[in-house]
Chains A and B, each alone.
Chain A
Amino acid sequence: MTNIAAILKKEFKSYFSSPIAYIFITFFLGISGWLFFRSFFLVNQAEMRGFFGLMPWIFLFFIPAVTMKLWAEEKKLGTVEILMTLPIQDYEVVIGKFLASFGLLVVTVLLSLVLPFSVMYLGNPDGGTLISGYIGLLLMGGAYLAIGLFASTLTENQIVAFIFGITACFVLLIIGEDIVLFNAPNWLFPIFSYLGLGAHYSSILRGVLDSRDIIYYLSLIGFFLYLSTLSVESRKWR
């Protein structure tokens, strides 16, 4: 536990001692705020469904940018050699790094609470859907982060990690979309519709916090953290 905490602290600080965190927060709040208010007054409804609906697509580009450096930079600099020869288990490093990126996500999401507060000021939105929307946002963001982290373990090039991350998230996002489902072979239909990131997210957005959706996201995160650990360990396979 202390090891995870040390890695978490170091990585989290490193986000804020480099421009990454500030750029990420500024752009995310700017773009999501603009997209939100652009239609908010047109629709003239005190709700945030439009905002939440856009998030899977905005996160698609933002999240892999947060995770791309986590392993790729270590490999490029060679610092991974010191890191992995410390008396720490590989999974502890993976979890520490994941939690650090999740921390950045939480900070960003907290800052975006400006939006629901202004909605509440202007109207009377359904608090339940707002809360479940934010929970869905964190779960989906966590899943993207785990995927991006895994992508970063595969290469020492941050750009490659970024593209891998986007591609993997994108594939997982669209396999649950209707257009893919209808064109997929019959036997793949249930698998795709279960694995698709989007369907679980939209059911959370409706205000239904189903344990199946939460389990789906948590196991997705767990699975990709496990893959990351395997990928980091693969240097020692014989």
Chain B
Amino acid sequence: MIEVRELTKSYGPTVAVDNVTFDAHAGEVLGFLGPNGAGKTTTMRILTCYLSADTGSATVAGYDVFDESVEVRKHIGYLPESAPLYTDMGVIEYLNFMTQVRNIPKSQRKERIRAVIDTCGLEDVIQKDIGELSKGYRQRVGLAQSLIHDPPILILDEPTSGLDPSQIIEIRNLIKNIGQEKLVLFSTHILPEVSATCSRILIINNGKIVANGTPEELSSQAKGEEIVHITIRGTQATIEAELNALEFVSQWNHVETDNGTVSYQINAAQGSDAAEALFHVVVENGWSLTELRQESVDLEDVFLNLTDKEQI
């Protein structure tokens, strides 16, 4: 439903979005992950026709974002960063205004407003002015606004920023539910968020897409080496001699010696099942094992790896 081809946009000398290409389909929750200033917001602004790209093309729901922007905008619900709303309007008044400018037929307006109030949990604040609402409720009104015309594509820019943990979970669940039928594209710089909600992740850094795949794919890609932490009761010199002799150990670091036990961090070749092999080594030598722990490579490492490399 979204096709982005070689999109580039710069602000003066700064390249905000650099040759970005990706696709997204209905039923996907696509997480846009990247450090602050990576180009997430700019990409979203281009897709929602708020800005235009310098070069490259993008189509949304089959329409070109530059040439058929009104059609594109009809198919998108958009929540900009930090949910900018008219603070002098009432919640209902605002949603009603949105049904008008979204050209929802008069007969369906009430029904649609009712529906988004239920979906976004706005029941308690319908009497209030937006200016009186807390950040969490404003975010929900913003979300309600983006859902009012039941769009097939939802673009949310940092929908959970500034919310408390329970609100974050609510919004995540909401995104998951919506994502079952629609395409949801949302950006964040919080890692657990993407692994919790997304079916696919795009990691963007310095305007470039550096990774694109499901959370599982990305984690397995990042597993270059196995890292094992081990603590052994034994003589340091013999242990180290033994470690040097082991073929699958590519590198080891002595961490500490404490009360007769010695700790190491051991890097081993991928797929060598280092933890198990080390266990056997310990048993064969008659040492005793006090700790054996394999470090799991998760999204965090993927993210740090990919974004750090780019910066150097």
Q: Interface residues, chain A, CB within 8 Å of chain B?
A: 2-3, 6-7, 9-10, 13-14, 17-18, 77-82, 84-89, 235-238
Known: A78-B80, A78-B82. A6 touches B100 (CB 8 A): yes
Contact of B54 among A7, A13, A238 (CB under 8 A): A238
Q: Which residues of the partner chain A approach B37 to less than 8 Å between Cβ atoms?
A: none
Q: Which of B59-99 contact A (CB under 8 A)?
A: 70-71, 73-74, 76, 78, 80-82, 84-89, 93, 97
Contact of A87 among B81, B85, B103, B145 (CB under 8 A): B103
The CA of A237 and the CA of B51, in the complex, are separated in Å by 8
Contact of A82 among B49, B89, B93, B145 (CB under 8 A): B145
Known: A78-B80, A84-B50, A238-B52. A2 touches B103 (CB 8 A): yes
Q: Which residues of the partner chain B approach A17 to less than 8 Å between Cβ atoms?
A: 88-89
Known: A7-B101, A85-B73, A86-B73. A236 touches B84 (CB 8 A): no
Q: State whether B88 touches A87 (Cβ < 8 A).
A: no
**17 other contacts beyond A6-B101, A77-B84, A236-B52, with CB at 8 A cut-off?**
A3-B101, A6-B97, A10-B89, A13-B93, A77-B85, A78-B84, A81-B45, A82-B84, A84-B49, A85-B50, A85-B73, A85-B78, A87-B71, A89-B70, A236-B49, A237-B52, A238-B54
Q: State whether A79 touches B84 (Cβ < 8 A).
A: yes
Q: State whether A87 touches B73 (Cβ < 8 A).
A: yes
**B53 beta carbon closer than 8 Å to chain A:** yes
The CA of A142 and the CA of B113, in the complex, are separated in Å by 36
Q: State whether A85 touches B101 (Cβ < 8 A).
A: no
- Nearest chain A CB to B288 CB, angstrom units: 62
Q: State whether A81 touches B80 (Cβ < 8 A).
A: yes
Q: Which residues of the partner chain B approach A77 to less than 8 Å between Cβ atoms?
A: 84-87
**B48 beta carbon closer than 8 Å to chain A:** yes
Q: Which residues of the partner chain A approach B52 to less than 8 Å between Cβ atoms?
A: 236-238
Known: A7-B101, A81-B45, A85-B50. A14 touches B88 (CB 8 A): yes
Contact of B101 among A80, A86, A235, A237 (CB under 8 A): A86
Q: Which residues of the partner chain A approach B101 to less than 8 Å between Cβ atoms?
A: 3, 6-7, 86-88
**B102 beta carbon closer than 8 Å to chain A:** yes
Q: Which residues of the partner chain B approach A237 to less than 8 Å between Cβ atoms?
A: 52
Q: State whether A82 touches B88 (Cβ < 8 A).
A: no
The CA of A14 and the CA of B53, in the complex, are separated in Å by 34
8 shortest A-B CB distances, which residue pairs?
Answer: A78-B84, A6-B100, A81-B80, A87-B73, A236-B52, A87-B74, A85-B48, A79-B84
The CA of A78 and the CA of B142, in the complex, are separated in Å by 12
- Among B49, B54, B101, residue most surrounded by chain A Cβ atoms (within 10 Å): B101
In the complex, the chain B residue whose C-beta lies closest to that of A83 is B101
Q: State whether A2 touches B73 (Cβ < 8 A).
A: no
In the complex, the chain B residue whose C-beta lies closest to that of A7 is B101
Contact of B78 among A3, A7, A82 (CB under 8 A): A82
24 A-B pairs, CB-CB below 8 angstroms? A2-B103, A6-B100, A7-B101, A14-B88, A14-B89, A18-B88, A77-B84, A77-B86, A77-B87, A78-B82, A78-B84, A79-B84, A79-B85, A81-B50, A81-B78, A81-B80, A81-B84, A82-B78, A82-B85, A84-B49, A85-B73, A85-B78, A87-B71, A237-B52
Q: Which residues of the partner chain A approach B86 to less than 8 Å between Cβ atoms?
A: 10, 14, 77, 79
The CA of A7 and the CA of B101, in the complex, are separated in Å by 8
The CA of A80 and the CA of B51, in the complex, are separated in Å by 12
Q: State whether B87 touches A236 (Cβ < 8 A).
A: no
The CA of A57 and the CA of B88, in the complex, are separated in Å by 31
In the complex, the chain B residue whose C-beta lies closest to that of A237 is B52
Contact with A along B38-60 (1 / 0, CB 8 A): 00000001001111111000000
In the complex, the chain A residue whose C-beta lies closest to that of B155 is A85
- Among A18, A77, A89, residue most surrounded by chain B Cβ atoms (within 10 Å): A77
Known: A78-B84, A89-B70. A235 touches B50 (CB 8 A): yes
Contact with A along B100-114 (1 / 0, CB 8 A): 111100000000000
Q: State whether A86 touches B102 (Cβ < 8 A).
A: yes
Q: Which residues of the partner chain A approach B81 to less than 8 Å between Cβ atoms?
A: 78
Q: State whether A87 touches B102 (Cβ < 8 A).
A: yes
The CA of A84 and the CA of B80, in the complex, are separated in Å by 11
Q: Which residues of the partner chain B approach A81 to less than 8 Å between Cβ atoms?
A: 45, 50, 78, 80, 84
The CA of A17 and the CA of B87, in the complex, are separated in Å by 11
- Among A10, A79, A235, A237, residue most surrounded by chain B Cβ atoms (within 10 Å): A10
The CA of A81 and the CA of B97, in the complex, are separated in Å by 16
- Nearest chain A CB to B233 CB, angstrom units: 61
- Nearest chain A CB to B140 CB, angstrom units: 15
- Nearest chain B CB to A15 CB, angstrom units: 10
Q: Which of B154-181 contact A (CB under 8 A)?
A: none
The CA of A79 and the CA of B94, in the complex, are separated in Å by 12
